[in-house]
Structures are given as C-alpha cells and as structure tokens.
Chain A
Amino acid sequence: DTAVSQTPKYLVTQMGNDKSIKCEQNLGHDTMYWYKQDSKKFLKIMFSYNNKELIINETVPNRFSPKSPDKAHLNLHINSLELGDSAVYFCASSQDPSSSDTQYFGPGTRLTVL
C-alpha cells in the first residue's frame, strides 16, 4: 500500500480556473505538509498541519487554501490559477512536528497552467 498518496498525478488546466489536489497518508502520522517544486527544482514548504491544525503558513498567495478534514488527509485548493503556479506539488507527512523527524513524500502532482 502507498504510504502517502496524491491525486491527481497530472493536472493540466487553463488560467483562471479553480482546482484541488488531494493527499492521504496511511502511516498514522500527525503532521502533513504541502511543498512546491518549481522548474529550477527548488522545493519550498507552503503549509504544515499538525492534527488538523495549521502550524506553518509560508508566504503563499491566499489563492491557495489548505484543508485538513482529519489528520490523514490534507487537501490543497487553488483559486484563479496563474501561469506561475505551474510546478510539481508534493504532499508529505511525518510522525510529529519534532525537528528530527523523517518526512515521507507523496509521488507529486504535476500542475501545468496554460
């Protein structure tokens, strides 16, 4: 069974549309994350949730809204998509928000905005 799964794997959409990416982990972890990896392969944290509570919110446009219905799920909704949103979005999870904990990544969602 996949530990951290994301859907969809590929997403191609027009500018201005609204889209969602879903993430689920079956590891029993308390903490989940969203990262964005741009064309230069730079991986940057966007959000982190611990037990459904937002604990990290980096400088991300408010068009991006995470939602955690339970601690096994962290979804990402993006409004009014822009060309610059094209990237690979990775979901990740870790056991707890301690600094030494390993993060497990999902396979990524490749978003292309036309």
Chain B
Amino acid sequence: RKEVEQDPGPFNVPEGATVAFNCTYSNSASQSFFWYRQDCRKEPKLLMSVYSSGNEDGRFTAQLNRASQYISLLIRDSKLSDSATYLCVVNIGNFNKFYFGSGTKLNVKP
C-alpha cells in the first residue's frame, strides 16, 4: 500500500471555478504535511504547508484531518495559471523522509 494516495485526475474546470483535491496517507505517525505544485516537465515547488488548524494563502486553503488521515486543498476562483499537477507530501517521523503522492492533474480552461 502506498504511503500517500491521490486521485490522479485530470480535473478539467473552467476559469473561476472552485476545485478541491483530497489526499489520504496511511501512516498515523505522519508529522508534517505539504502541497507541492509541479508544472509539466518542471521541478516540484512548495505551494503551502498544511497545519492542523487549517490554513489559507490567498485563493488556496489547506485542511488536515488527522482522525481520517486525509489532507485537502481547495482552490477558489481558478486561473489558467493554476493548471499543473498538485502533489500531496507527507513527512513521517525522523530524518526528513518525505513521501510524495503521484499527483492530481488540474486543467483550467478559458
């Protein structure tokens, strides 16, 4: 079983739409959670960390549900530039060992 699972999509949405991605993780000892963004043929870049209380950064809101072991990302008012693959990332315990999901692809259409 994979440490981190995501719906691969693609999610095809019109500009201005609200879209949500979920991600589940298998290890209850997971300590830190992140969303990274990866554009086609580019490297992953940190979008935002995910905190227990939930956090917001502009149009992006991340939530963590430890009891159910899932993480969500909500994007409001989608822009064409939001088109990318969104990677859910979990860190388990010591030594900065990060586990990446396989990503959810988002296509925002005009």
Looking at B15-23, B58-66, B72-80, B96-104, the stretch in contact with chain A turns out to be B96-104
Interface string of B75-110 (1 = CB under 8 A from A): 000000000010100010111111110110000000
Known: A56-B95, A108-B43. A99 touches B31 (CB 8 A): yes
Known: A48-B96, A55-B95, A90-B43. A43 touches B49 (CB 8 A): no
A residues within 8 A CB of B103? Answer: 41
- Count of chain B residues near A, Cβ 8 A: 23
Interface string of A72-114 (1 = CB under 8 A from B): 0000000000000000001000100111111101111000000
A11 at the interface (CB under 8 A from B): no
Question: Majority SS of interface residues in chain B?
Answer: strand
Question: Majority SS of interface residues in chain A?
Answer: loop
A99 touches B100 (CB 8 A): no
B44 at the interface (CB under 8 A from A): yes
How distant is the Cα of A43 from the Cα of B87 in the complex, in angstroms? 9
**Interface set of B (CB-CB < 8 Å, partner A):** 31-32, 34, 38, 42-46, 49, 85, 87, 91, 93-100, 102-103
